[in-house]
Structure 1
Amino acid sequence: MARTVQSLLEDIQLLDEQQFRLVEAVRELVKSTIKPLAEEVKYGGIMFTSTIPFAGVFAYKEHVSVEFSLGARINDAAGFLEGAGKGRRHLKLRTVQDITGKQLAVYLPLALEAAADEAAGAGSSSSASGTKR
């Protein structure tokens, strides 16, 4: 049976109220920044899709992670992205203030652009900043 976003949020809230508030703050920012937006529970977190999947939010014991599916393609001028794999990058958030401090609102459209470029087959010719590689 498919898990709902609401049931996952209820579980997060039962386990850790601070993590719940942080996940909810991330969701609100994503909803206000990216349109259209759909959410689904996948891989133990909430995945965000706007015509294509581009990011997700995951609650862990010590932090909340916002994962970018093709984050390695983002021009990370601010330097907040973590990870060294071929594709994914993430932001670790420990407080609601980290959402602003680590510029999540800047990364969201870049993550969507990177995913859209990949879906269009342009992933090898442009980066999420719009510059040629």
Structure 2
Amino acid sequence: MHPQVTDYISNAGNQQEILQTIRQLIHETVPAVTEEFKWGRPVFRASRDFAYLKTAKAYVTLGFFNYQKLNDPGNLLEGTGKGMRHIKLKSINEIDNHLLTTWFKAASIN
């Protein structure tokens, strides 16, 4: 676990629980995951960057690089960039462990 990521989560106020839950789920799902602190946010990497976390005033953004690998039948992913999409999580209850586990596995594969 990267110390700057730990500090980021520790200083996230009421969003700590969401951030910590997602961080733990990533580590449980992707065996070779490493953490980095880039662009002012936690970035998760296997053979390359696959996900990031970012806090905002009312939600946590969970972003995915190479989103094309993700199956999103519910059209939950937002964004218009070439290679990245994200979801916004406003509460711990919005975390769908099964869906996120599937996405983390798909996104982290080369």
Q: TM-score range by the shorter chain?
A: 0.7 to 0.9
3-state SS in 2 of match to 1:20 = helix
> Which gives a bigger RCO, structure 1 or 2 (Cα 8 Å, sep 6+)?
2
Higher alpha-carbon Rg: 1
Aligned pair partner of 1:38 in 3, 16, 34? 34
- Asked if the contact 2:47–2:108 (Cα under 8 Å) also holds between the matched residues in 1, the reply is no
Partner of 1:58: 54
Corresponding residue for 1:85? Answer: 81
TM-score (norm 2): 0.85
Q: 1:32 to 1:73 in 2, by over 3 A?
A: closer
Q: Residue type of the partner of 1:95? A: S
CA distance in 2, matches of 1:41, 1:30: 15
TM-superposed CA distance for 1:61, in Å, is 0.8
Distance in 2, Cα, partners of 1:102 & 1:92: 17
Q: Which runs of 4+ in 1 moved over 4 A?
A: none
> How does the TM-score come out when normalised to structure 1?
0.72
> What is the CA RMSD across the aligned residues, in angstroms?
1.9
What runs of 5+ residues in structure 2 fail to find an aligned partner?
none
Q: Which has the higher strand share?
A: 2
Q: How many residues align?
A: 108
Distance, in Å, in 2 between the alignment partners of 1:92 and 1:77 is 17
Where does the alignment leave 5 or more consecutive residues of structure 1 unmatched? 117-133
